[in-house]
Chains A and B, each alone.
Chain A
Amino acid sequence: MTTTQTLPRSVTPLPPTPRRRRRGRAPAAQLWQASPLTYLALILGSVLSIFPIIWSFIIASRDNSAVYEMPPTPGDQLFTNIDRMLANEDAAFVYGLVNSAVVSSVVTISVIFFSSLAGFAFAKLKFRGSNALLLVIILTMMVPTQLGVIPLYLMMVELGWTGTLQAVIVPFLVQGFGVFMMRQYAMSAVSDELIEAARLDGCSTWRVYWNVVLPALRPAAAVLGLLTFMQTWNEFLWPFIVLTPDTPTVQYSLKILSSGPYQTDYVALFAGTALATLPLLIVFLIFGRQIIGGIMEGAVKS
């Protein structure tokens, strides 16, 4: 289940060569040296990309009377604004943060588990129909599942799950993109000899997966985990439909803060967007290289 812009974009089948990119050890001749103009353009692009985020943090630090003041210089109200925003009981922001953390963690663990399991089966086990089934998985990535929300919602009503966290967890437990990515990685990262050796040692297929394959898949699992966590954390439409204001995710809390009677308290709202973005920003600063690698890996031509 993915929606609008959160569809996995990096899906073209890729040859399973794990390409290691280390700074300064670029193989042989890269053709062009970057010109000053190149740097200028890229720095400009980066600034345009980063500025709105910084600007939103700046607004979060101001007083409401100074929201529109130019030029953008930070104020000293950040913690006052955060306090006021957190005190807003309708938005239940802290609860939203906790819920988002729970939902994103459970979904991430599940996606890693089921993806690596199925990816291993497709990469290393022989069974009838495996090629056709893999194709089906690739095709599932193209299904605009957002268009099924009405029956899905009716289903949740039927199950009595509306307003509960399982409604935003269970539909997202598996992901075609994850299976495919794990399969690609397992093809190259796990040698057949290793699996054969484990089998001779008496490992059942399950133990081969658990003791041999899963450890070998760790790098790809980490990237898949990061991407899935961010995607789930940012999910908006489905939580907005199926949850209620008493059980919000953090994005839902933002929605409450941004509408109705609170709409005018901009600085508190921006304190909210800052706090909702901060966890991902930290993850990104720590694991940026891996995340970038993960996005690029998915790209190599079919």
Chain B
Amino acid sequence: MSSTAGAAPPRHRATPPSSTPAPRRSSYRLGRWDLKYSPYLYIAPFFALFGVFGLFPVLYTVYVSLFDYELLSGTKEFTGLENYRVLMEDAQFWNAAYNTLGIFVLSTVPQLIVALILANLLNRQMRGRTLLRMGIVVPNITSVAAVGIIFALIFADRYGLINWLLGTVGFDPIAWRDNRYASWFAVAFMVDWRWTGYNALIYLGAMQAIPKDLYESASLDGASAWRQFWTITVPLIRPTILFTVIISTIGGFQIFTEPLMYGFGLVRGGADHQFQTLAMYIYEKTFTGNAEYGYGSAMSWLLFMMIIIFALINFALVRRSVKGDRK
């Protein structure tokens, strides 16, 4: 049973196997329809699924945030901006915001700088390239949960690896959980560990697209390797740097699993919430205790705003400090 193809020898198996030989005209019409509208059919699943399970929930968060909506007490009552007003006076919220910001800075700035340096080191002729690349990116395949568990022990207070190392060189052990800033450092270190190599590879990919003759002429002019790095490499991969900064901001502000596992799976984030992040506090309010969906949604929405604001600030900061290529 051959297809609509008329005279042409069918190289691919015939179209719908069930259909009787279609009259030419209707197949032509079918073909027109196929050309004009089927593309929409092919992209529709993405938009439908993302719309329902991705975009809609984020937007609906705004609506829920206007309600006093609790699971346990069964209330669902429109209260306008009341949740936001309470939030402004919620010390634990601001504490979590402070922690999130601190951990974000500690986890992003060193991460991207070291990634840039690593990428520059990898961007030369060497033996064992693939092996070294695999070496630096292997942390990225481990799960965040596992990373949290492993580093909780590395940064254990009494017998942890780090404190042991500190001890052997004669330093006092550090209270890796009780001290707020030490706990920030430990949590940020996990993020750095897991993502530095990954970002280095992204930078490396961008660096390899830079034409080599740019460096050749710079060398002829006597520019040192360091100078070439700053005047050629960095400006030319600026779009990629900006991109990683934005993505790190979006990801970093939502940090949840690392501090959770670091605190032995508790969302409180330490005895005094010293490393409780916003995502953890949202979880605590929404999915434990009274299950205050409205309040949690208000926090989510504020976090969303913060992400936008900081993404823009970071974007501007980096754009200003890294000179772009002006061709």
Contacts and interface: CB of A to CB of B under 8 A. Distances in A.
Interface of A: 1, 3-7, 9-12, 19, 23, 26, 28-34, 38-39, 41-43, 45-50, 52-53, 55-56, 59, 67-68, 70, 72, 114-115, 117-118, 120-122, 125-127, 130, 133, 136-137, 140, 142-155, 170-171, 173-174, 176, 179, 198, 200-207, 209, 211, 230, 233-234, 236-237, 241, 250-251, 254-255, 258-260, 263, 266, 269-270, 273, 276-277, 280-281, 283-284, 288-289, 291-292, 295-302
Given A133-B47, A258-B152, 14 more contacts: A5-B194, A7-B250, A29-B216, A34-B121, A49-B136, A53-B150, A121-B42, A145-B58, A150-B296, A269-B149, A288-B134, A299-B203, A299-B206, A302-B239
A273 B146 contact: yes
29 contacts: A3-B256, A4-B255, A9-B198, A9-B251, A10-B202, A38-B126, A41-B118, A45-B197, A50-B138, A52-B193, A53-B150, A115-B46, A121-B43, A148-B59, A148-B60, A148-B300, A151-B56, A153-B287, A202-B5, A209-B42, A258-B265, A263-B264, A266-B153, A277-B143, A284-B138, A292-B137, A295-B201, A295-B205, A296-B204
A127 B134 CA distance: 41
B247 A150 contact: no
Given A31-B216, A33-B124, A258-B261, A300 B209 contact: yes
B59 to A, nearest CB: 8
A151 B57 CA distance: 5
Interface stretch (B6-14, B77-85, B174-182): B6-14
A67 B236 CA distance: 48
Contacts of A56: 146, 149-150
A201 B135 contact: no
A210 B297 CA distance: 43
A259 B50 contact: no
A207 B12 contact: yes
A79 to B, nearest CB: 20
Interface string B74-105: 00000000000000000000000000000000
B255 A147 contact: no
A89 to B, nearest CB: 18
A42 B42 contact: no
A43 B279 contact: no
A132 B150 CA distance: 45
A46 to B, nearest CB: 3
Contacts of B300: 147-150
> In which size bucket is the chain B interface?
35 or more
Contacts of A50: 135, 138
B279 to A, nearest CB: 7
A260 B265 CA distance: 8
Interface in B209-239: 209, 212, 215-216, 219, 225, 236-239
In order of increasing CB-CB distance, the 6 nearest A-B pairs are: A202-B5, A46-B135, A148-B57, A299-B205, A259-B265, A296-B205
Given A9-B244, A43-B132, A198 B12 contact: yes
Contacts of B126: 33-34, 38-39
B169 interface: no
Given A4-B255, A150-B297, A301-B240, A251 B143 contact: yes
B144 interface: yes
Interface of B: 3-6, 8-12, 15, 30-31, 34-36, 38-40, 42-43, 45-47, 49-50, 53-61, 64, 118, 121-122, 124-126, 129-139, 141-154, 156, 158-161, 164, 191, 193-195, 197-199, 201-206, 208-209, 212, 215-216, 219, 225, 236-240, 243-244, 246-247, 250-251, 253-257, 261, 264-266, 279, 282-283, 286-287, 293, 296-297, 300-301, 303-304, 307
Contacts of A258: 145, 148-149, 152, 261, 264-265
A253 to B, nearest CB: 9
Nearest to A202: B5
A114 to B, nearest CB: 5
A257 B76 CA distance: 36
Given A147-B304, A237-B257, A42 B239 contact: no
Nearest to A19: B208
A215 to B, nearest CB: 11
Nearest to A212: B12
A203 B10 CA distance: 9
B256 A237 contact: yes
A5 B205 contact: no
A283 B141 CA distance: 10
Contacts of B236: 301
A53 B150 CA distance: 8
Contact of B61 (A148, A251, A255, A266): A148
Point out which of B54, B59, B225, B239 has the most chain A C-beta atoms below 10 A from its C-beta.
B54
B304 to A, nearest CB: 5
A23 B36 contact: no
A204 B58 contact: no
B77 to A, nearest CB: 16
B146 to A, nearest CB: 4
